[in-house]
Amino acid sequence: MGRKLPRGQRTVLEGVARLVREGLAPTSHDLTALLGLRPQTLRQHLEALARKGLVILHPRGHGRPTHVELTPEGRLLAGLAIPVVGRIPAGPLEEALEEVEGLIPIPGRPNLFALVVEGDSMAEYLLEGDVVVVERGVRPRRGEIAAVLHQGKTTLKYVYPEGEEVVLKPHNPAYPTLRLPAREVEVQGVFRFLLRGREGLEALGLLERR
C-alpha cells in the first residue's frame, strides 16, 4: 500500500485513475491528451506499470488506441479501492490478521482499511460478517469505536481513555467491559463507516479478490 513509483509512472497511474473516476474506460489517446505526454513516453510508462502488475494493456490493432485497465493492485495504489486486511473479533480478543483478503472498489485514501467483524459483542450495532472501514494514524475521541491491539491480539470496541488506563466497552451488554493499561493498548484504526454484510458485498460484486 505504501509502494513507491517513479514520478512519470505515478503521473500516468493518477491519470488513469482520474479518467476512471469520470466514468471513462481510459485509452492511450485519452491519456496523451490529458497528460500532454508524447505517445512514446506514455507507452514506456504504461509498459512499466503493466510489468509491475498495476495495469493491463489491451491493444486494439494498428492505428487504434490501447485500452488501459487497472488491476486490483492498481486500483488500490490509485486510491480507487479500500483493502480488506483481515478479520477482527467483536467479542473475545483473538489473534490479529494482517493479510489482504480482497478489495472494496470504492474511493479510499491510503490510511483507510477494512476489517470483517467476527463475534457479537458489538451487536446489534455491528453484526458478524459486516465490513467496517477504519482509519489508522488518528486518535479516537472518547466513546468512538476503534480497532485496538493488546498483547498481539485485536478487538473492536468503544474506547474511553482514563488517564493511565483505557476502558474498552462492548455494545452487547452480555459481554464484559475491559479495563487495560493504556501503555499496553495500541489503536490500530478508528471506525469511520460500515458496509453491511460480507456475503451481500460479494453477491453485488463489491468485494474484489486480489
Whether 157 contacts 122, CB under 8 Å:
yes
Q: Which of 4, 52, 153, 157 is catalytic?
A: 157
Q: Which of 52, 121, 153, 169 is catalytic?
A: 121
- DSSP structure string for 82-99: EEEEEEEESSS-EE----
Grid coordinates representing 17?
A: 485513475
- The conformation of residue 79, written as its DSSP 8-state character, comes to T
Beta bridge pairs of residue 94: 154
Helix, strand and coil percent figures for the chain, each rounded to 5: 25, 35, 40
**What is the enclosing helix (H) or strand (E) of 179?**
strand 178-181
Show Cβ contacts of residue 162 under 8 Å, excluding neighbours closer than 6 positions. Answer: none
| CA separation for the pair 15, 20 (Å, rounded) | 9
| CA separation for the pair 78, 109 (Å, rounded) | 9
Q: Which among 37, 44, 21 has a CA at the least distance from the CA of 29? A: 37
Active site residue 52: no
Active site residue 121: yes
Show Cβ contacts of residue 33 under 8 Å, excluding neighbours closer than 6 positions. Answer: none
Catalytic (active-site) positions: 121, 157
